[in-house]
Amino acid sequence: MTVWETANGKAMARKLFGTDGIRGTANIEPMTPEVALKVAIAVGQSFRNGTHKHLVVIGKDTRLSGYMLEPALTAGFITMGMDVVLVGPLPTPAIAMLTRSLRADLGVVISASHNPHADNGIKLFDREGYKLSDELESAIENAIEKGPRGRAAPSELGRAKRLDDAGGRYIEFVKQSFPRGRRLDGLRVVVDCAHGAAYKVAPTVFWELGAEVFAIGTSPDGMNINRECGATNPQQMRAEVLARRADLGVALDGDADRLIIADEQGAILDGDQMIALIASRLAKGSTLKGGAVVATVMSNGGLERFLAGAGIGFHRTPVGDRYVVERMRALGCNLGGEQSGHVILSDYATTGDGLIAALQVLASIVEEGRRASEVCRLFTALPQRLKSVRFEGGEPLEARAVKEAVADGEARLGRAGRLVLRKSGTEPLIRVMAEGEDETLVADVVEEICAAVRRASATAGERERPRLRAAE
């Protein structure tokens, strides 16, 4: 089976918004203060009608460029008569929670998640703490194209203030997701905060629940977020687990909405293994709603087989935790996630939360009284290979040679295999994933498709250059 995805999963026409808000290189369009100001004004226009003073919560991670985008967004909302609450560096799920808690109309996160420090992004949450739909994001883009209108009168401008106890509120919120009456006493936990948004709150959560905490990645300087650390680079966390003889390692990404864990032996476990563990625990306690789990097309077939064997349903969505959440809400499920480490537990949160997911893993370890290596690995993953190819221009996935390579790969993988090709929503990349029974064959298929994409991209680039020179 081959799955082809567009850049945005479902919405191809959008120009600014990708799979997770607006994202790009800082100080280069679209990630400039000018665009941020326009976004805030466009969003604010939808709140000009009403009888109350509208409120927006703005949080960010630790990137240097956050200091540039935060005031631009603040100015835009104030221009439209909205009050602004600034909470500083906090995880993305904290902003979703605070938006609901403060009865705000909108939540804004300034973050590029797991990307390098040079990138940044803008994510928007509605008053219920859910990411905006494709339709609302398209409406915002249309409003930007039409230009600002309906600005507030001088006497109706908004105000901005800082919320000093935002971090403490979030810490208590996360701790309440841990089973009542249980503690982490006696457990040694390594926490890699990726020099990101959770560098203060994450170690505190585990320490207050009783664990002995070894925190790394807690010295952000504006440019070291995600650098050789965190969920995308968990080797430093793994080494610390072994050196400290810890019981579990937790590696968060820059905005702490996802995680990767390591057991006491240093084995790295991804989101699929965590979903399997949490689904089993919920099903055992008769609290798995909808009798099913929601994941994306990237989740391993081994997870699907494991869940089927346990009598648990399995639904796939396009890549992006927002699509997982949409399907969970439609099906009435309370567990979903992505292989990359987004785990959504809707009984507690409206979006992926790395800390809440980590506590559910630890709850299983505490309740079963066994080592993480005995608890956390519930299935053997099928051989899977994912590779990204940068492209220069055109639409490589539409090229005949690429489609022929895909058809050949699909035939070689057989009925037990899967192919997923998708255009990144945040970078000029084509992501190629293959899965099957034979590891060598899987690797060969991915390499051949990637080579076809490179050739198609190079050909498109050669055609594009004369046109660009003529335009100059």
Which residues have a catalytic role annotated? 113
> How many CA atoms does the CB half-sphere of 246 hold within 13 Å?
28
Instruction: For residues 251 and 269, give the distance between their C-alpha atoms in angstroms, rounded to a whole number.
Output: 11
Q: How far apart are CA 109 and CA 346, in angstroms?
A: 20
- Which stretch of DSSP H or E encloses residue 453? helix 439-471
Which tokens sit at 38? 């326009």
**Distance in angstroms (rounded) separating the CA atoms of residues 321 and 333:** 14
- In this structure, are residues 65 and 24 in contact, taking their beta carbons and an 8 Å threshold? no
DSSP character string of 326-380: HHHHHHT-SEEE-TTS-EEETTT-SS--HHHHHHHHHHHHHHHTS-HHHHS--SP
Cα(285)–Cα(93) distance, integer angstroms: 26
Give the span between the Cα atoms of 313 and 291, in whole angstroms: 6
The span from the CA of 306 to the CA of 308, in Å, is: 5
Asked if 296 and 318 touch (Cβ cutoff 8 Å), the reply is yes
Q: Is the dihedral of CA 177, 107, 343, 244 positive or negative?
A: negative
